[in-house]
Amino acid sequence: MNFDLKQVGVFRRNKKHKEAIEDPIEDEQDDYDASEFEDDEKEVSVKVKNRRPREDNFTQQRIKAFNPIITPKTVIPLYLFIAVIFIIVGGVALGVSSRINELTLYYQDCVTAAPSDGTWSDMPSDHYISDFKNNKTVSVSPQWRFVDDTTDDADERGTCQIRFNVPYRIPKPVYINYLIENFYPNHRRYVLSFSEDQLRGKAASYEDVHDNTGINCKPLVRNEEGKIYYPCGIIANSMFNDTFPFELINVDDTSSNYTLINTGINWRTDRKRFKKTKYTAADIAPPPYWEKQYPDGYNDTNIPDVQTWEEFQNWMRPAAFQKFAKLIRRNENDTLEVGTYQIDIGLHWPVTEFKGKKAVYITHGSPIGGKNPFLGIIYLIGGLICVAMAIIVFVFWIFFGRKVADPNALSWKKKSNLIS
C-alpha cells in the first residue's frame, strides 16, 4: 500500500501558519497588543476601604439641636410651674380620697366575745372604724351576736351577725371586702406553692406538681391514698372560706334589702388563666383544709370549677403585705341608702392561732380607687420641694449671683488677672 502523508490534513501546514512560524516576533507583538486592548476594555474598579461614616446629617452630626442655656431666669419659672402642677394634682387626689366613705368591722373573736344567748351587744370600740366624709365618728355603735352551730365541733363555727348604721348614702358601686391582718402571704415558700398546670386545666401528673423546679405544690401534693390534691399547694389549702351573704338585711324594712353579687370581683385577665380541670374525680382529692366542705371527697358533680369561681381566683393572687383586703361581693347598680343593716358571716377561717385579725370592709368606688391619701400627700410634698428649690435658687441668684456670660469668669482670664 502507498501512503502519502502529504495528503493527510493534520500534517499539512497552511500558508498562514507558515508565515507565523517564519515571523514569531511579529506574532508575539500582535498577541501582546490584543491582550492589552482587552485589558483596557475590561478595566476592574478597585474598592478602597474607608471607615468614614456615610455622608448624611445623622452620621456627620449635623442634625439641628436645641442647646438651652440654663440660667436662673429659666430655672425658677420651671420649678414654679412643676410645683403648681404637683400641688393641684395632690390637692385633687386628697380631696377625692377624703370624700370616700368606708366602714370596717372586725369580727375575729366573735365566737368568744359576742353574746350567744340571742341578745345584741355593742361591739368594742377597737373593733370598728367608721370614716364618712361628713362624719368621722360613729354616732351609733355597731352591734353583734354569735349564733352557734351545734352540729359543728370546730373551734371556728357558727354565724357572726353584725348590725351597723349607715349615716350617709354610700354611692354606687358599693364593694364588700374581707380584710385580713397579720397574715403573711408574701413568704417565699408560700407564694411558690401551687401548680400553674392545674390552674390552667391540665391533668398534671405527680411528677409535674412535685418535681417542677421553683413553682411546685410541696409540701401538699397528694394524700395517703396517693391521690393528687386538687388544687394542690399551700395557697389553695389556706383559702379564706368565711361565707358572706348575697344581701344586706335592712333591719327597719326587710323589703328594701340590699342585693349583692359575687361576679365581676376579679381581674379580667384571670378568666384566661383559670380553666376547668381535665381530672376525673377518682384521680384527685380535696386539700386537707377543704375536707369540711367536701367530707366525702370529690365526685363527678362537685369538682370545683376554678374557671367560674372568682373568689378562688382572687385568693390565688397572693398579697404583698401582711394586711390586705380582697373583694368578695359588690353592687354596681344601687346606692346604699341611709339605715341600719345586718350582715351574717359564716365562720370557718380561724385567725387566733397566728394572732391575726379579720374584718368586713365596706366602701365604694372613686376615680382614684379606694381611700388612700398617700398619692395626694406625695404630690404635695413634691410640689413643696419644687417651691423650696425655686426660693433657694432665687436667693443665691440675688445675693451670690454673677453676670451671665461674663468673660472675666473664664479660667484663662482668671490666670491672666493673677499674673498681672
pLDDT digit string, tens, across residues 318-349: 999 999 999 999 999 999 999 999 999 999 99
As beta bridge partners, residue 130 has 103
Give the pLDDT confidence score for residue 415 in this predicted structure.
63
Q: Could you tell me the three cell numbers for 180?
A: 385580713
Q: What values do phi and psi take at 271, rounded to 5?
A: -65, -25
Dist. CA 352–CA 7, nearest whole Å: 128
The span from the CA of 235 to the CA of 314, in Å, is: 11
Asked whether the predicted pLDDT for residue 57 surpasses 90, the reply is no
Helix (H) or strand (E) holding 31: helix 24-41
Average pLDDT over residues 108-123: 94
Give domain status of residue 184, yes or no.
Answer: yes
* The pLDDT of residue 71: 85
Closest by alpha carbon to 140, among 177, 103, 101, 100?
103
Rounded to whole angstroms, what are the CA distances from 299 to 280, 351, 384?
Answer: 8, 31, 64
pLDDT grade, residue 414 (50/70/90)? low
Please tell me the predicted confidence (pLDDT) of residue 43.
55
Asked, for residue 214, whether it belongs to a domain, the answer is yes
What pLDDT, on a 0 to 100 scale, did the predictor assign at position 181?
A: 96
Name the residue with higher pLDDT: 159 or 69.
Answer: 159
246 within a domain of the structure (yes/no): yes
369: left (phi over 0), alpha (psi -120 to 50) or beta: left
Rounded alpha-carbon distances, angstroms, from residue 63 to 59, 70, 358, 380: 9, 22, 63, 40
Specify the 3-state DSSP secondary structure of 29: helix
Average pLDDT, the chain: 86
SS3 255: helix
Question: Which distant-in-sequence residues (6+ apart) come within 8 Å of 171 by Cβ?
Answer: 335, 364
Q: How far apart are CA 168 and CA 174, in angstroms?
A: 13
Rounded Cα–Cα distance for residues 420 and 409 (Å): 16
In a domain, 308, yes or no: yes
Show the domain range for 164: 101-126+148-365
The distance of Cα 100 from the centroid of its chain, to the nearest Å, equals 24
Q: Is the pLDDT of residue 2 over 80?
A: no
Contacts of residue 112, Cβ cutoff 8 Å, sequence gap at least 6: none
Q: For residue 21, what pLDDT band results from cuts at 50, 70 and 90?
A: very low
Question: Is the predicted pLDDT of residue 196 greater than 90, yes or no?
Answer: yes
User: Into how many domains does the chain fold?
Assistant: 1
Helix spans in 155-298 (H): 188-191, 196-199, 206-210, 234-237, 270-273
**Is residue 167 in a domain?**
yes
Per-residue pLDDT band for 72 (boundaries 50, 70, 90) equals confident
Amino acid 35: pLDDT:
47
In a domain? residue 185: yes
Burial of 126 (C-beta count, 10 Å sphere; 0-12/13-18/19+): exposed
What's the pLDDT score for residue 129?
92
Q: Using alpha carbons only, what angle is made at residue 267 by residues 264 and 268, rounded to the nearest 5 degrees?
A: 80
Asked if pLDDT for residue 40 goes beyond 60, the answer is no
Give per-residue pLDDT as tens, 266-285.
988 888 899 999 999 999 99
Of residues 95, 73, 76, 89, the one with CA closest to residue 382? 89
> What is the pLDDT at residue 173?
92
Residue 78 lies in a domain: no
Helix (H) / strand (E) containing 35 = helix 24-41
Asked, for residue 411, whether it belongs to a domain, the answer is no
